[in-house]
Structure 1
Amino acid sequence: MLTVEIDSDTERILSNLTSDGRSTADVIREAIHIAGRLRWMEQARADAERLANDPDDLAEIRAIQRALGDTNAW
């Protein structure tokens, strides 16, 4: 069970989201799942940015590129 106080803007949005017949519980469950995916994607973006700027990873990439030679031939 979850009890949440919402403001008038949120109430309006919730009303719009349930206007197709979905229950408030279904809309809230979906919103929580979407928020979880968004957080996961933001974490993945931050990890990718961190790795893209990691000097050790960049050095390894350059070493692999040198070892493989001209990869544009593929």
Structure 2
Amino acid sequence: MSTLNVRTDAAMDQALAALTADGRTKTEAVRYALLHTYRDELLKQAREDSERLAADPDDRAEMLAIQRFLGLVE
């Protein structure tokens, strides 16, 4: 495991205060924010891939598999 030092500004200090208000440590808050942002980026990319595949009728099966994986369709 590595260590990361981050310089904060006023906006970051405000965000950290909000994320630690429930008792989380700063480390837990940063991990939470980083992992949730990463997940959101993965979902965004998957949606973009799904939309790209939707434009090609030959790839409909793959598109549906991605949507099912994302929980967008049953």
TM-score by length of 1: 0.69
Task: State the one-letter code of the partner of 1:27.
Answer: A
| Aligned counterparts of 1:34 and 1:57: Cα–Cα separation in 2 | 29
Instruction: Tell me by how many angstroms 1:55 deviates.
Output: 5.0
Q: CA deviation at 1:42?
A: 0.6
Return the structure number with greater relative CO, CA threshold 8 A, min gap 6. Answer: 2
* Equivalent in the alignment of 1:37: 39
> Which amino acid in the other structure matches residue 42 of structure 1?
K
- Give the corresponding residue for 2:65: none
Structure 2 counterparts to residues 1-74 of structure 1, below 5 A: 1-57=3-59
Q: CA RMSD of the aligned region, Å?
A: 1.7
Structure 2 gaps, min length 5 = 62-74
Counterpart AA for 1:8: A
**Total equivalences in the alignment:** 59
Q: Which residue of 2 aligns with 1:71?
A: none
**1:8-66 deviations in whole A, cap 9, x for unaligned?**
011012112112211000011111110111011011101101100125436xx8xxxxx
Q: State the SS of the aligned residue for 1:4.
A: coil
Match for 1:23: what amino acid? T
TM-score, normalization by structure 2: 0.69
Question: Displaced runs of 4+ in structure 1, greater than 4 A?
Answer: none
Of 13-22 and 42-51, more deviation after overlay is shown by: 13-22
Task: Specify the SS of the correspondent of 2:39.
Answer: helix
List alignment gaps of at least 5 residues for structure 1.
62-74
